[in-house]
Amino acid sequence: MIVTTLVIVLLVLLTIAVTVLFAMMGELANRTSDGASGSVGSGPAVPLEEARAGERAVGLPSAFRPGAGVVVVFSTSCRACGLLAPQAPEFFRDYPVHLIGVLVTTGDAASGHDFVAKHGLAALPVQVDPQGRTSKQVLGISSSPAAVAVNDAGVIVSAVAFTSYSSLTPWFDSVFGPAVEPVRQGEHA
């Protein structure tokens, strides 16, 4: 009888704790995300020390574009990725940095393909990356959203985690040199 009562009390306390935790996470998400602007924070891009900087990016998907540029890594389990991914096609169309491709890390291929379709990434060179094998083995990246700079020789130069596309522009300038202003649709360069 005492054991049963104790178990019930513990279950009630656990339920309350989980409810409070989810409420706190929801409040934090409301304070830090702004899906309309393609931003989930206002901080700078953060260097990812785990990246294989200085190593050749051998093993990138064949669908990716050649040349110096950026590989973006999103994850199907990442809330920030879900907010940032829909703005990727427009950002990389307008900003003068070459997009090599987008890796979508996922637990299973079906979820990855759903993410690509839901967030309008199909027009980009994109590869679903089950269990994040390519992002981990080729790029050394286990975080998302992330951007990885690759030079003309196919060598990884730098990698960052980011919370907004505006946080990427200073990083782009530091890696690729100062860029011209983005060209918006309807404007002439």
Q: Which tens digit of pLDDT belongs to each residue from 53-93?
A: 999 999 999 999 999 999 999 999 999 999 999 999 999 99
Q: Calculate mean pLDDT across residues 40-50.
A: 85
Give the pLDDT score at 14: 78
pLDDT at res. 136: 95
**Residue-averaged pLDDT of the chain:** 84
- Is the pLDDT confidence value at 134 over 70? yes
Picking from 169, 167, 163, 168, the residue whose alpha carbon sits closest to that of residue 181 is 169
Q: Look at residue 179 in the predicted model and tell me its pLDDT.
A: 62
Q: Is the pLDDT of residue 189 over 60?
A: no
Q: What top-level class would CATH report for the domain 38-176?
A: alpha beta
- Positive or negative, the CA dihedral 38, 48, 156, 152 is positive
Per the DSSP assignment, residues forming a β-bridge with 130 are 106
Strand order in the sheet with 156-161: 46-47, 156-161, 146-150, 69-75, 99-106, 126-130
pLDDT of 185 = 47
